[in-house]
């Protein structure tokens, strides 16, 4: 019988989503897995002061849930930074990354742990869930091992493109798509009224950062193989980088830390 690989949860959240999205999400996780390790990245809002009452309310609410740890930023940080930080701050081999606008239905974690077991039997690596990047699972070795994929590219300082970029790098490295597992127990909130890109320049969708799109298309990728959008990557060929635009090793010290922490 295969044991379930150890895992943590990383959540990214924003001030305008506290009551409507984050609070019920944390409560649902707690109801199913009360002692699960959770790292919450509390992001700032671009060109707005960090609300003092929000800071207090967030710390008070999170304190009601065991094994819940907050990382707070008074300034806005992009998805790449938040995802990398969440991965670096967890203690387990796998990190389930959740956007705060997902809904965890009863029975989800039973299904997720079966995904982990199956994935372990095939060989531990990162995978997506329902073909999305609002909920996916990162295996630590994929980001800290220089022979694997590496961390998310933090030159993408806004929202969007970081998911497709990492997926294309995976495809370039291994010549195949990432694994994907499906569940009907992970729907989204439907109102989509609380966009993290508020006060930033966005693409025509009004959701994703123009900066990230421009960086990918004009600076990082060869123009004849430019991506056709953040959601099209899994159906596109692996992308070709311009010379000298490889993703830097964002956290060289993290590899050293993980390799040596047991010697401390």
With 80 as the cut, is the pLDDT of residue 184 above it?
yes
> Is residue 33 classed as helix, strand or coil in its secondary structure?
coil
Closest by CA to 91, choosing from 31, 158, 140, 18, is 140
**CB neighbours (10 Å) of residue 226?**
16
Section 34-45 average pLDDT: 97
Q: Are 216 and 226 in contact (CB under 8 A)?
A: yes
Task: Enumerate the domain spans of the chain.
Answer: 7-263
Give the model's pLDDT for residue 193.
61
With 80 as the cut, is the pLDDT of residue 260 above it?
yes
With 60 as the cut, is the pLDDT of residue 112 above it?
yes
Alpha-helical runs (H) found in the chain: 23-32, 52-62, 79-89, 108-122, 140-144, 162-174, 210-214, 252-260
Section 247-264 average pLDDT: 93
Give the model's pLDDT for residue 242.
87
pLDDT band at 191 (very low <50, low <70, confident <90, very high): low
Give the model's pLDDT for residue 230.
39
Share of the chain above pLDDT 70, in %: 91
pLDDT band at 34 (very low <50, low <70, confident <90, very high): very high
The per-residue pLDDT of the chain, averaged, comes to 90
Q: Round to whole Å and give the CA distance between 93 and 6.
A: 6
Give the model's pLDDT for residue 1.
57
User: Mind listing the pLDDT tens digit for each residue in 56-89?
Assistant: 999 999 999 999 999 999 999 999 999 999 999 9
Q: How many Cα atoms sit within 13 Å of 130 on the Cβ side?
A: 15
- Provide the b/e sequence for 135-153 (b: ≥16 CB within 10 Å): bbbbbbbbbbeeebbbbbb
User: Mind listing the pLDDT tens digit for each residue in 193-252?
Assistant: 666 778 888 887 777 889 999 998 888 888 754 444 433 344 455 567 888 999 999 999
Full-model pTM:
0.92
CATH architecture of 7-263: Alpha-Beta Complex (3.90)
Token reading at 236: 């596109």
> Is residue 19 classed as helix, strand or coil in its secondary structure?
helix
């Amino acid at each position: 019988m295969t044991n379930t690989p150890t895992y943590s949860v990383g959540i990214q959240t924003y001030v305008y989503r506290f009551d409507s999205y984050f609070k019920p999400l944390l409560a649902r996780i707690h109801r199913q897995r009360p002692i699960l390790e959770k790292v919450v990245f509390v992001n700032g809002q671009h060109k707005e002061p960090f609300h003092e009452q929000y800071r207090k309310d967030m710390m008070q609410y999170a304190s009601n849930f065991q094994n819940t740890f907050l990382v707070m930023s008074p300034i806005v940080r992009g998805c790449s930074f938040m995802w990398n930080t969440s991965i670096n701050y967890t203690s387990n081999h796998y990190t389930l990354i959740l956007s705060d606008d997902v809904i965890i239905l009863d029975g989800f974690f039973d299904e997720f742990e079966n995904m982990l077991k199956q994935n372990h039997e095939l060989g531990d690596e990162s995978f997506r869930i329902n073909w999305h990047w609002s909920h996916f699972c990162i295996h630590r070795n994929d980001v800290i091992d220089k022979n694997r994929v590496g961390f998310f590219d933090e030159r993408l300082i806004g929202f969007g493109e970081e998911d497709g970029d990492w997926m294309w790098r995976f495809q370039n490295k291994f010549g195949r798509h990432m694994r994907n597992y499906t569940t009907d127990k992970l729907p989204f909130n439907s109102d989509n009224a609380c966009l993290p890109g508020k006060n930033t320049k966005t693409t025509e969708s009004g959701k994703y950062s123009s900066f990230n799109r421009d960086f990918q298309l004009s600076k990082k990728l060869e123009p004849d193989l430019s991506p056709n959008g953040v959601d099209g990557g899994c159906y596109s060929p692996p992308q070709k980088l311009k010379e000298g635009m490889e993703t830097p090793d964002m956290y060289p010290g993290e590899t050293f830390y993980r390799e040596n922490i047991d010697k401390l």
